[in-house]
Structure 1
Amino acid sequence: MTVLNEWVAGTRVGGWVQRCRESRRLVLAIVAIALLLDNMLLTTVVPIIPEFLYNINHPDTPLDGPVRTTTTTENPCKEYMKSHHLEYLPNVSTEDMDLGNAISNKYQKSPKSLGIFSADNMTTIDPEKLLREERHRDLVQETSQVGLMFASKAFVQLLANPFVGPLTHKIGYSIPMFVGFIIMFLSTIIFAFGRSYSVLFIARALQGIGSSCSSVSGMGMLAERYPDDKDRGNAMGVALGGLALGVLIGPPFGGIMYEFVGKSAPFLILSALALADGVLQLLMLQPAVVRQESDPPSLKALVTDPYIIIAAGAITFANLGIAMMEPSLPIWMMDTMEADRWQQGVTFLPASISYLIGTNVFGPLGHRMGRWRAGFVGLIVIGICLMLVPMATHVNHLIVPNAGLGFAIGMVDSSMMPELGYLVDIRHSAVYGSVYAIGDVAFCLGFAIGPAMSGTLVKSIGFEWMLFGIAILDFMYAPLLFSLKSPPTKEEKKSLILGEKSSVRYVTYQNEEDDEE
């Protein structure tokens, strides 16, 4: 009897596990969790890396350290240069009494603007003002380094996507999904213990491979499990909500943990959460090779489809502005507002909350109102909000434009991602790995170009004009989405091609008749 009871209990547990494995809601939960953790890692570093790298490069004058002051002595020039490490000034020795003019010539500013007086009347030196000038230049210079590090993940992801998409056609979605977890776990551990720019750069680049596997496989899996266009839009809205939640939690989580616990703490917690997600995938998805029954569309056919390119381009332009702000906004806040670490992290909070709302609202709503219309309005709102950001003079002034920015990006992403699946359904064949590789490439383009260019643009035209320029690009791209209002189907596409061929034959026939006459 005991054996029978155990067998019945085991049968019930086995049946429950089997039902879980067949549940598409559980698949949706696993994909949402994977996107959440990936984007938590993506954004946790935003408030940590800029200051961490600055403190590595300037151990004597960390950002959170006190400003050194200089007292007037019998030789103030010598004391000033010694305390501020200015021995490197060209043609100036420590005995040179005309230090004020030498420093002003180097920085191309008047001695008075730097708080320095020339040797004739040198009685006062304002080291705080000069230190702020030095920090400003160092922070602007560091924007390029931070931008390249942030962009490395997206560049690697761009390179990996064309391989991951077709790979899912051959082996299915579950194995690449699990590989993505393993790579993300390793990247998180490296972030936790990395103490140099090169090591952190490698960790960020490695994350790009894991993100490619998770994003492409996850979206393809959802498109396959939710064949109905409306249900697919809802499911992808929920999955993008997981992405949004990761973006939401990441910056404040990283900033607060770095401020009060230390640099390694947030990454160790993330690695533990990633390990739990990996165990869930192993038990429920049971990674195995699954071959596609229908022939997938070629990557070339998808890339040359103008409607797919327009939808993917909307994703790129929608995310380009926030991608440029990731490395530059915290540094701009440190420079203009003297913002603390936690403020640099929390400033992205309104954008993340509104992105979470936008993706969940416009997942189902985009299907009703027309996804092309939701994308069009989203790009216009993004442009307006980008123009409002540099007008802020206090941290609180960033709340409204950042919130509007996040909500509008959610409109575009939650509309265009299911639109890509819909375009493949009506214009190609219902195999989704490659089209979501294109969608992920579009997403990554924004986060590759944005951080990589932000440092150069901030130095050349300034933070304000950089965002104004991206806003103008969004305004110019938005009208292209009108073409997605009623894209031709596969049959219409074939008819159009056949019609063009018939027209060519008719024109050729007419020309031949004219030649005979």
Structure 2
Amino acid sequence: MIFGMFGLAMSTTFFGIATTYWQLVIARVAQGCAGGASWTIGLGMLADVFPPHKLGVVMGTVLAANTLGFTIGPALGGLLYQYHGYAAPFIFCSVLAFFDFLAVCWIAEPTKLSHVDPTSEVIAHAHTLESAPSPAHERFTDERTPLLRDGPILSHHGPPPKPTNSDTKITMWSLLQRWTILSCLLATVLGSSIFSGIEPTLPIHLQDTFHADASTVGLIFMAIVIPTFLSPLVGLASDRFGRKTISAAGTLLVALVAPLIALPSKTLWLIVPPLMVFGLASSMITTPLLPEMGEVVHELGGGAYATVYALYNMAYSIGMLVGPVIAGLLIDKVGFLGEMCAFTACLLAAAPVAYWAKWA
């Protein structure tokens, strides 16, 4: 993670001083690798520290922070470019990444602790044994008294808790063999492709239909971004009501509301309510997936959180790559309404496979 943040600072600086096309390509590739490293390791560190039943709120908070940066970044970059020139946004971001690098250097490596359920019967019985008064003749012992009695203490109170397979090495291939991981990756590709697919095509629709200028398009996009700040609440709901339930409900909401965004209307601002539902539903799709994948690793004994979140980042990147390409082809062939209907059909077709087939 330290190398990732340092690489992010250096590659962003290189962006500002690049003078040729290939220098920009190299800077962009380096920036993507560095950002992916810090993002993946950061999620893995959180999963190491927090127990699975609290990961929903934690990952929701992370996604909300990501949305905050996604929201203020373009506006801040535009102001810096307008008043201080081309290199100013990159210099500012590289300085910010350098301070983040210094902050990461102060973060201690998380200790691998066993997340014990304090409500379990074994722990409750142990507390009972500790608090129970001992007989008078057993209160005082001399050096001849054995510290450990014969036989396990809990032999008459059920079997001890089942140990985890912490010695088994978890590989990327072994994770991909579990259907829960595959279904989460499929849902991630779907969610990121739909969200990234509407980003380049919605401005075209707004300009062609409503003759909206750049500032108006930016305000309309806020309708998608603002609801994603509710990601911590979405994570809390997924911890309480089930991650599959919340994610599947988000998929259904996106499928239902996508065509409403493209319906003809005479008033521009009528598009705002369906866009807000779209933004919230997109958060409902992706937020529960992170803790669900982390819990799978926890059940396998832990130690591979970075690996599973690397798979998540790969799936998210695939969706971000495929979504705009498919959306661009669809809007040219069938228009914006046809594109939204195609997204709906894709979600409805893939949802049973992703959520109801074998997700245990």
Residues 1:366 and 2:233 aligned together: no
Residues of 2 paired with 1:365 and 1:180: CA distance? 32
Paired residue for 1:241? 64
Distance 1:187 1:338, change over 3 A: farther
Post-superposition CA distance 1:452-484 (Å, at most 9, x none)? 333333333333322221121112222331346
Residues of 2 paired with 1:410 and 1:383: CA distance? 14
Residues of 2 paired with 1:479 and 1:313: CA distance? 11
Paired residue for 2:90? 267
**Runs of at least 5 residues in structure 1 that lack an aligned partner in the other structure:** 1-176, 288-292, 488-517
Q: Which moved more, 1:475-484 or 1:436-445?
A: 475-484
Residues of 1 paired with 2:280 and 2:86: CA distance? 30
**TM-score (ref. length: structure 1):** 0.53
**Runs of at least 5 residues in structure 2 that lack an aligned partner in the other structure:** 111-165
Moved over 6 A (4+): none
Paired residue for 2:206? 333
Number of aligned residues:
302
Residues 1:448 and 2:271 aligned together: no
Residues of 2 paired with 1:345 and 1:223: CA distance? 35
Distance 1:252 1:397, change over 3 A: farther
Q: Is the 8 A contact 1:251 1:346 kept in 2?
A: no
Q: Which has the higher contact order (CA 8 A, sep 6+)?
A: 2
Paired residue for 1:222? 46
Distance 1:276 1:395, change over 3 A: farther
Residues of 2 paired with 1:201 and 1:400: CA distance? 39
Distance 1:360 1:373, change over 3 A: same
Q: Is the 8 A contact 1:251 1:348 kept in 2?
A: no
Residues of 2 paired with 1:398 and 1:204: CA distance? 34
Residues 1:384 and 2:272 aligned together: no
* Cα deviation, residue 368, structure 1: 0.9
Post-superposition CA distance 1:39-94 (Å, at most 9, x none)? xxxxxxxxxxxxxxxxxxxxxxxxxxxxxxxxxxxxxxxxxxxxxxxxxxxxxxxx
Q: Is the 8 A contact 2:195 2:282 kept in 1?
A: no
Paired residue for 2:73? 250
* Cα deviation, residue 352, structure 1: 1.6
Distance 1:220 1:367, change over 3 A: same
* Cα deviation, residue 310, structure 1: 0.6
Structure 1: which amino acid aligns with 2:171?
S
Residues 1:348 and 2:239 aligned together: no
Residues 1:479 and 2:303 aligned together: no
Residues of 1 paired with 2:26 and 2:328: CA distance? 20
CA RMSD of aligned residues (A): 2.8
Structure 1: which amino acid aligns with 2:194?
G
Distance 1:454 1:345, change over 3 A: same
Residues 1:429 and 2:253 aligned together: no
Residues 1:420 and 2:293 aligned together: yes
Q: Is the 8 A contact 2:56 2:232 kept in 1?
A: no
* Cα deviation, residue 197, structure 1: 6.1
Residues 1:276 and 2:99 aligned together: yes
**Please, which of 256, 259, 272 is the counterpart of residue 399 of structure 1?**
272
Q: Is the 8 A contact 2:254 2:344 kept in 1?
A: yes
Residues of 2 paired with 1:236 and 1:180: CA distance? 20
Structure 2: which amino acid aligns with 1:474?
L
Distance 1:404 1:245, change over 3 A: same
